[in-house]
Structure 1
Amino acid sequence: MRKLGAALLTGALCLSGCSAGSLGSSDETAAGQTQITFLTNNDPANVKVAEAMIAAFEAKNTGVDVKLDTRPQGSEGDNLVKTRLATADMADVFEYNSGSLLQAIAPQTNLTPVSGEAWVGDLDPVFKQVVTANNEVYGSPWGPAVGGGIFYNKPLYTKLGLQVPKTWADFMSNNAKIKAAGVAPVQQTYSETWTSQVLVLADFHNVAAADPGFAENYTNNKAKYATTPAAQAGFQHLEELHKAGYWNKDFASAKYNDGLAAVAEGKAGHYPMITFGIPALDTAAPGKVNDVGFFALPGTDASKNGVTLWEPSGIYIPKSTEGDKLAAAKKFQAFVASAEGCTAYGSAAPLGGPFVVKSCTLPADVAPAVKDLSAYIDAGQASPALEFLSPIKGPALEQITVEVGSGIRSAGDAAKLYDEDVKKQAQQLGIQGW
């Protein structure tokens, strides 16, 4: 998931990397204060959010001084976190992945459980699931969730009298009407190959709805894309849309920002994407962000229509944090999961999705697509993306999906090839049963 993960960070928070180091509060602490260290990734936009969070927290908790430390992103940062946990040298509170990657740092061994804290009851159930291990909750959320699905041009839908589709058949019917109106039905941007994966990855809510045990069986080498109809459907969607001639003519050379601009300006009816792209819409098409709506990737059953979510990372406390520092770290963790914490976060970064804390509300001027995503979550019509339930994702997926979407490879062959790619990845990770 590394390349798409990097893109998610780019859209939600990231601009470019910077060197690791220490920022924020001075090492000198006022009399009577407890100093704790907060470790997070070194992306400049993320650092800006962390600084805003710390400032808001310290204003309310004058007895605590928070020192901000940063770590590299990607595998280097992962290794640093694992090493510091293993040597009991971790910061007093730190930000790290939720979901399957959290399980890789052995939370039962290394982290402080917080299931009994009052704020845990205010967490969205889907997020709570991805920061839980052995029935213990370990983390509070760092930022909002984002959803995978379809951006659509609202004025075009109004002009053509279209309704938001809840089934794939309805979606294809809308595409036919959009094409008849002389507009590209579906934008694709294969110059940046990571974008080709969205139709497969965002379909996971439909996979889980049809086969609730898929994630576990997939991880245990008991379920395959090629032999699970619901899982293979994502590849079939790519094949079907290409064969129908529903792509933009320049799909092979178009870039991510081209896709955002096309759907915002009505040059394309739809753009399969994850909502981290919402903050970038106004840059790609100034003044058009309110013309873009969002809907979940439709499946076969309208009654089970729902969205695939990429959950935020978590804020955790290592077991090495003790005494007064533990009490201060718990206050900081709780603040992040509060309405005040959400306000501090939103003051420093554009929002690409709703918060996963029930008491947090979105600003009135948030983009329509964010409101659309929030409606799915509020209705309980959401599932975490497969990467939060399984550590296995084949690295060649984006190349395979480009081939299918370009008419080079069939959906069936693609699913088989991806199963082989997944097998290699699982073996490299040393997962039992492979």
Structure 2
Amino acid sequence: MKKRITASLASVLALSTLVACSQAPAGGGEVKSGGEKKEAPAEKVKLSVWHNFSGDDLRAKAVRAQIEKFQKDHPDIELDAQAIPPDGYRQRVKTVAAANEMPDVFFAHAGTGIKEYFDGGLLQPITPLVNKHPEWKNNFMEGALEALSFNNEVYAVPINASVTSLFFYNKSLFEKHGVAVPKTWDELMAAIKTFKEKGVTPISLGNKAAWLAQSSILSSLADRVTGTDWFLKAAKQDGAKFTDPEFVQALTYFKGLADAGAFQQGFNSLDNTQMEQYFIQGKAAMMIDGAWALTNMAATGTKEQLDQVEVTVLPSVPGGKGDPNSLSGGAGGGLAISKKLSGKKLEAAYELIYTVSGPEGMKAVAESNSVVNYKVDVDPTKVTSLFLKAYNLTKQVKFTPVYDAYLSSQGAEAINNGLQELLLGGKPEDIAKKLQDAQAKSLGK
């Protein structure tokens, strides 16, 4: 009897096991009552993005808002977004790049900035994304993608434009002292002389950080003298040198401004913000600065002060080879993708870039009083009148290279420091040689 009970119990257990196995889902998931299968939640795609839009300015807020929109619209993606202050951003990315530990998506500066990562084999093109949206691709300004492209492949699209040589002037001071807005170099020198005689600083300058004189004045002035082709050859050390007569002539024009007393006292110890405040307060008649000044002056100046400001291009030079209807500038950098990405992570990266840099993102950045390399209709009620003037100007001119976007880091340092020296009485020939030596050495020539 005992043996029969044991055998019967074993049979029941075996049958129970067979029934349980027939009801269990193939993937080992849970079984609801009635045998209904319950799917396990899909694993989230993890994506990291680094950028330098960390400040409280309207542009930074606009970019961060687009990233937050992406997060909200894609709950299936776990986004690790890091906003790193601009001063330390480049070095931090270079540090992880040296260890081949790049973030999945990161902001790369145009020109030599992104080229370093391309040359290191750390990037992959976003051409498939760009070609997927031809109406988006074709709406960028002419040449906007060139500084972010290599071998006919696009590696980033510009989030904003880098316009560095806007020529601001106080129309009230010009009218008060009967000075015509200068369109030629001779007219500029005459205006400087008149304002000096009237006790008004002709041009506000703050070159403490050394880059501003190069980026905002020399880049545009030198292009008017030498033409763009000459500079690109000199930057590559291929068929032109910075000791060539045309570049020495450009430095001579620049030195002529200081010799004429165009700038306020202590310009090499004043920073960019102090320079802009000096101008907006009506203490200087002119200022040559980048598009970043638009937001800064809007934040510190009164409506009355801003209404006195007009904006145009730097005056032409006699016999110059460059286009006088131009501004130094171009693409300001954009989001690039690590070469390691594939599959769903790559698709997520594409979607993030399109959210930040697509038509909606471009409109948001433009309406934060920031110039973009994209054709977009800006709501005039959302920007200052001064920004609108500058933005419309950028649509009517040619863009020429900003020197430090094409020079090596050694070359950029040589010309930045050299211009400070030049403004204090240095010789154009000496500064030209320092730049030539630094650029040639960095390229191994």
Q: Using the alignment, how far apart are the partners of 1:63 and 1:359 within structure 2?
A: 31
Q: Is 2:423 the partner of 1:411?
A: no
- Range moving further from structure 2, 177-186 or 368-377: 368-377
Amino acid at match of 1:53: Q
Alpha-carbon spacing, 1:232–1:272, altered in 2? closer, same or farther (3 Å) = farther
Alpha-carbon spacing, 1:182–1:223, altered in 2? closer, same or farther (3 Å) = same
From 232, 242, 248, the equivalent of 1:225 is 242
Q: Using the alignment, how far apart are the partners of 2:117 and 2:275 within structure 1?
A: 37
Q: Secondary structure at the match of 1:106?
A: helix
Tell me how many residue pairs correspond in the alignment.
390
Q: Is 2:116 the partner of 1:95?
A: no
Which residue is 1:128 aligned to? Answer: 145
Unmatched tracts of structure 2, length 5 or more: 1-40
Which residue is 1:77 aligned to? Answer: 92
1:268-417 map, 5 Å: 268-287=284-303, 288-300=305-317, 304-309=324-329, 311-345=331-365, 351=369, 353-359=370-376, 361=378, 363-391=380-408, 393-406=411-424, 408-417=425-434
Deviation per residue, 1:61-97 (Å, 9 max, x gap): 565453313567255323234236x3xx433322122
Alpha-carbon spacing, 1:163–1:337, altered in 2? closer, same or farther (3 Å) = farther
TM-score with structure 1 length normalisation? 0.77
Q: Using the alignment, how far apart are the partners of 1:70 and 1:262 within structure 2?
A: 31
Q: Using the alignment, how far apart are the partners of 2:222 and 2:385 within structure 1?
A: 23
Answer whether contact 1:205 1:306 (CA < 8 A) is retained: no
Unmatched tracts of structure 1, length 5 or more: 1-29
Alpha-carbon spacing, 1:54–1:75, altered in 2? closer, same or farther (3 Å) = closer
Q: Using the alignment, how far apart are the partners of 1:163 and 1:364 within structure 2?
A: 31
Q: Is 2:282 the partner of 1:266?
A: yes
- Range moving further from structure 2, 218-227 or 262-271: 218-227
- CA RMSD between the two structures: 3.3
Amino acid at match of 1:92: D
Q: Using the alignment, how far apart are the partners of 1:183 and 1:150 within structure 2?
A: 17
Which residue is 2:10 aligned to? Answer: none
Amino acid at match of 1:82: A
Deviation per residue, 1:30-51 (Å, 9 max, x gap): 8686442222248444875553
- 1:59 Cα offset (Å): 4.5
Answer whether contact 2:161 2:330 (CA < 8 A) is retained: no
Q: Using the alignment, how far apart are the partners of 1:232 and 1:371 within structure 2?
A: 36
Which residue is 1:8 aligned to? Answer: none
- 1:162 Cα offset (Å): 4.7
1:232-243 map, 5 Å: 232-243=248-259
- Range moving further from structure 2, 137-146 or 392-401: 392-401
Answer whether contact 2:63 2:361 (CA < 8 A) is retained: no
- 1:409 Cα offset (Å): 1.6
Which residue is 1:199 aligned to? Answer: 217
Give 1 or 2 for the bigger CA radius of gyration. Answer: 2
TM-score with structure 2 length normalisation? 0.75
Q: Secondary structure at the match of 2:375?
A: coil
Amino acid at match of 1:157: F
Q: Using the alignment, how far apart are the partners of 1:157 and 1:367 within structure 2?
A: 22
Q: Using the alignment, how far apart are the partners of 1:78 and 1:90 within structure 2?
A: 7
- Range moving further from structure 2, 52-61 or 66-75: 66-75
Which residue is 1:185 aligned to? Answer: 202
Which residue is 1:54 aligned to? Answer: 67
Amino acid at match of 2:148: V
Q: Secondary structure at the match of 2:255?
A: helix
Which residue is 1:14 aligned to? Answer: none
Q: Using the alignment, how far apart are the partners of 2:185 and 2:293 within structure 1?
A: 23
